[in-house]
Amino acid sequence: MADIGSFVVPAMILGIMIHALCHRVDVYSAFTSGLKDGVQSVFAIFPALFALFIAIGALRASGLVELVVAWISPLADFVHFPSELVPFALLRPVSGSGSLAFASDIFATYGPDSFAGRAVSVMMGSTETTFYTTAVYFAATGTKDIRHTLKCALIADCVSMAVSVAVCRFYY
């Protein structure tokens, strides 16, 4: 059963080739046309991605995250949101790799089976890197007005984080 995984991709490629041959599709032309479209998409979203990566690097290097965490922690304690999860919650909508670094720190400090480790795991699975996703998708489509999407996505992230903590408190 474990060896079946090594045959799935070649079988899919063979199936696509057989289907194309049965329908008399020029596979090479279709492949190069799709490749051309893919490269155009990469060039369309590259400026937005580059700007986002620069902003994330500057944010992390500046120490602003630690300053904001120190400012928000009393509010987080007031609403019973664990203060050790605040850095992750702040960075998750902005950067997947940055939030993963904070999650790794939480695992190293508190352990993966701790409340913080479980809560951050649930948060990783139930939230999105909102700014990255909107930058990529809207740059690819050329959409300029993203304010309602961004607002709704950030509200969904906040709700997901609060529910993640509540679910972990209930089950663990």
Q: What is the pLDDT of residues 4-48, one digit of tens each?
A: 778 888 899 899 989 988 999 888 888 899 999 989 888 887 887
Q: How far apart are CA 68 and CA 124, in angstroms?
A: 21
- Is 93 buried (19+), middle (13-18) or exposed (0-12) by CB count in 10 A? buried
Q: Are 128 and 89 in contact (CB under 8 A)?
A: no
Q: Where are the beta strands (DSSP E) in the chain?
A: none
Length of the chain: 172
pTM here is: 0.65
Count of C-beta atoms within a 10 Å radius of residue 59: 17
Q: What is the pLDDT of residues 79-137, one digit of tens each?
A: 889 988 998 998 899 878 778 888 888 999 999 999 999 999 999 999 999 988 888 88
Q: How far apart are CA 27 and CA 13, in angstroms?
A: 11
